[in-house]
Amino acid sequence: MKPRIVPIDTIGDCKKLSPLAGGENATFIFENSGVIYEVHQSEILKEMETGGTMFFELAGPREKIYHDPGDIACGIVTCGGLCPGLNDVIQALVMELYERYGVKKILGFRYGYLGLSKDAPESPLELNPDNVSYLHRVGGTLLGSSRGSREIEDMVNTLAANNVKILFTIGGDGTMKGARAIAEYIMERELGISVIAVPKTIDNDLSYVKRSFGFQTAVEEARAVIANAHVESEGAHNGIGLVKLMGRHSGFIAANASLANRDVNFCLIPELPFRLEGEGGLFDSIRKRLEHRGHAVIVVAEGAGQDLIREEPVAAKKDPSGNILFKNVGIFLKEKINEYFSGIGVKISLKYIDPSYIIRSVPANAMDSTYCLLLGQNAAHAGMAGKTNMMVGYWNHHYVHVPLKMATGRRNQVDPNSRLWKSVMEATLQPYTIFDKT
């Protein structure tokens, strides 16, 4: 079996002994250490026939590092929407860089990439163990956030002016693309600045990250909301609880929350178009459920059903990051379900709940907080070792280095043929006819 370790860009040769080498029980990662990409026998055999089995470079501390901790500054930005765990990652980075590596100048650039531009509304915040000590207990981000990139040369000039030799970007797909552009521009100018990305997407839709931070917290919080919707639906004759959850292109939160709370009767996700009308459609299926049990609970991901909302083209408007501004499928379904039952002379009591901004603002739970700590530590190790143009991923139960080109190449989505979705169908007992649009 011929191994192929996915190459990671580096600033230069690592010649300095790591400060961690003097510590007790120091364990370092060898550069040729890898984590296998495929795990299923059939896929491994295919790889062996076409060039060898692929491995990701294993993350972790290196015995020799590139950057001199006493002669550099590090920068941190948080971008995009809020997500449980952002503060935890900031804290982990600061503690590892300051206490373990001895980097004494760590700058938090305010409000995402805007903070790196000449139009930055505030000066960068100097971070240290004292002013990040409480962050694991609160939601949001100490540094603030924003969407959209800025002019690349302008941002790189800001880094150079502040002697920043490692930039840590915490964000989703758009942030990753911005980080890649910054890293490639820096390499062209040979400025010797590392760019390390920490993946943040509450929707769990980034590739090569089996679980993104904040996702478990979101599912846990969503589960409680669904329980409330179920109580509301049972409290009225023909009661319907309708819950809209996050998930623009990927329905992982909706799917997993539906598995975590078996009160869900219908789960609608972006990956599977559904129909409203006709025998076996959503309206007909809800009617049969009410006749059989007297109440129903519906969970819908925010990106589901966009093809059904015909007010104007879906792609008519975009946010500063280039994301399509979707129509509110929750309000749409609320109105259409009420219209349907009014039209057939059946009185219902529908309660609509949208907890999105509440969920994304809460502190990370125990599992996510631990995960954020380890992501931050491994990002610090990668940066100090002179790695660049890469993301810290989590693959096959190990932390790995993933090139940003790969990380931004495709989106992670629910496979309608996967065991996950089959389990959702089994748990909800919703009919397959809802998704049959032929």
Enter the tokens of residue 94.
């600061």
Q: Residue 3's beta-bridge partner residues?
A: 53
> Reduced to 3 states, what is the DSSP secondary structure of residue 258?
helix
CA distance 324 to 338: 27
- Residues near 374 by Cβ (< 8 Å), separated by ≥ 6? 92, 399
- Residues near 268 by Cβ (< 8 Å), separated by ≥ 6? 251, 254, 274, 282, 298, 299, 300, 301, 304, 305
Cβ count within 10 A of residue 264: 27
Which residue of the set 203, 205, 284, 354 is catalytic?
Answer: 203
CA distance 281 to 430: 10
CA distance 278 to 83: 39
Of the candidates 252, 272, 346, 233, the residue with the CA atom closest to the CA atom of residue 243: 233
CA distance 411 to 407: 9
| Region class of 364: left (phi > 0), else alpha (psi between -120 and 50), else beta | beta
DSSP labels for 377-418? HHHHHHHHTTB-SEEEEEETTEEEEEEHHHHTTSB----TTS
Verify whether residue 203 is a known catalytic residue: yes
DSSP labels for 140-167? S-TT----S---HHHHHHHHHHTTEEEE
Enter the tokens of residue 335.
């109105």
Enter the tokens of residue 18.
């790591």
Q: Cα–Cα distances in Å, from 291 out to 93, 238, 242, 263?
A: 55, 8, 18, 17
Enter the tokens of residue 337.
């379900």
CA distance 54 to 57: 10
* Catalytically annotated residues: 203
